[in-house]
Structure 1
């Protein structure tokens, strides 16, 4: 296996976080292993890493209850073309707005990604065939809290919290303390408000672990660093007319952050050269 797997173990479930290497943008696919079923969250950008997720699923030897897509960016949905073929009949669930976006624009966005990255990107988008309704749900005796957050890293993001385990899958709303965030749209203030809400939820629910969209799980202690990043990215955006100017300004203001490829990639979407 090229990617790595980190497993969080609890009395009544396990959370397996698959992370590809840097050339796969460290996009996480997370498998929540319940007593008698699996829930698989997000599906990779490149097929070679989606295949490894499929191998990990097979090794757990339990049926998949559902696939879930957290938001509408292709690094999280491209791999579902492969996974839904390999595990035929499993529903893909998402927020209604995410489903509608994929139905309208998913193919167009994938075509752009294929032009950039080649045939490891999916040929066709898998439009979700089930909807997630925010709220609390008990699955196999485990409490799940589904929440929706708007106008942050993506237009609409689904988070999945396991309140009794102190774990939240927060997708790209949160990043590592030393990472560039994917500021692909100028939603800086709204995103900061989302992070402040997550701070409140952390205290209220007692969260200890965030499974993020890219890289190893982190703790709530990264939230101040994420907010600092967004403030710096906003200031750079206000003073920059072009993508390369913004990259330089962010680099000058936050020289300790990386990887550089992430900020370069974000700039292409932030300044409208590539669709998110």
Structure 2
């Protein structure tokens, strides 16, 4: 079974009704959330549909467990991050087509290839779509785009992206998407030194990309002790927003997102990593320690690469 899509409408929630249906090789989970303290299945007037819905697609067949988020407004769609592979981007596109609304805007959070290489799929399907990232992120992507296309074509063959897509540099602090307030929190240390996330203050939803992980080994390859401390502080600032839902960059399929699981997991992981690193004598030792600490977490390649960089044994 491949990649589910979680449909979540935020609010003061009492879990409501859930319906599952199979679409091709992936499963769509529809979760109804209500603005009140009664079960949505109870008798009484049906609540009016919320203005915003968040559809989350998690890649499952590429080993990255990437989340792309389709934000559904009243008339159009906003996509946050675009997948690594062409094949998974096509699955996101299939989800978009089923919503029967135009994709208006794509926002790329940072320069890692698993968040932007699938852009060609969306630009081809929606030629007028605006694709944006802040200038630093766009510059970094420009610097690696050709290299990443070649690398993943060699590894994935026909599943890989094949062409470069222009990204517009945008350095504002909010996105213009319908009448929604969509704030951008940029220039942040996460798993890279130039990360960002999207904050919906009215809905109290944070789409945080690789600022947070859930049940995944966090990507520490590009970090130092100092930058990991800054990452931790950025997560603490995120907590102060008091989000009702946080959607991380990587999580297990079928995940139902909540206010604090991803933040709590990532903070705990970063603290554990520092402890185990301080006690490790070799790359083998560090890998064994992190495996014992998080036996069921995915993305272990992050630990392997970090250990190889830190220890030369």
- Aligned residues, how many? 267
1:99 lines up with 2:138 in the alignment: yes
1:232 lines up with 2:272 in the alignment: yes
Which residue of the partner structure matches residue 174 of structure 1? 212
Determine the C-alpha separation between the residues in 2 that align with 1:201 and 1:249.
29
Higher-strand-fraction structure: 2
Greater shift after overlay, 104-113 or 27-36?
104-113
SS class of match (1:110)? helix
Greater shift after overlay, 43-52 or 113-122?
113-122
List aligned pairs for 1:49-198, cutoff 5 A. 49-128=88-167, 130-137=168-175, 139-176=177-214, 178-198=215-235
- In structure 2, the gaps of 5 or more residues are 11-49
Determine the C-alpha separation between the residues in 2 that align with 1:90 and 1:137.
14
1:2 lines up with 2:2 in the alignment: yes
SS class of match (1:268)? helix
Determine the C-alpha separation between the residues in 2 that align with 1:149 and 1:179.
23
SS class of match (1:3)? strand
Deviations 1:59-102 (A, max 9, x none): 11212221111111111111112221222231210111111112
**Deviation (angstroms), 1:138:** 5.3
- In structure 1, the gaps of 5 or more residues are none
**Deviation (angstroms), 1:192:** 3.9
Determine the C-alpha separation between the residues in 2 that align with 1:201 and 1:25.
24
Deviations 1:79-134 (A, max 9, x none): 11222122223121011111111212221133223333333221233241x22324
Which residue of the partner structure matches residue 38 of structure 2? none
List aligned pairs for 1:25-36, cutoff 5 A. 25-36=64-75
SS class of match (1:39)? strand
**Deviation (angstroms), 1:193:** 2.9
Which residue of the partner structure matches residue 206 of structure 1? 242
Which residue of the partner structure matches residue 18 of structure 2? none
Determine the C-alpha separation between the residues in 1 that align with 2:306 and 2:146.
17
Which structure is larger by alpha-carbon Rg, 1 or 2?
2
Change (3 A) 1:93 1:110: same
SS class of match (2:289)? helix
Determine the C-alpha separation between the residues in 1 that align with 2:213 and 2:177.
28
**Deviation (angstroms), 1:23:** 3.4
Determine the C-alpha separation between the residues in 1 that align with 2:185 and 2:161.
28
SS class of match (2:236)? helix
Determine the C-alpha separation between the residues in 2 that align with 1:57 and 1:247.
39
Deviations 1:110-168 (A, max 9, x none): 3223333333221233241x223242455322111101143320221121000111100
Determine the C-alpha separation between the residues in 1 that align with 2:226 and 2:217.
17
Deviations 1:224-258 (A, max 9, x none): 43222113323444566865443223223x14441
Contact 1:134 1:147 in 2 (8 A): no
Change (3 A) 1:159 1:167: same
Change (3 A) 1:235 1:136: same
Which residue of the partner structure matches residue 19 of structure 2? none
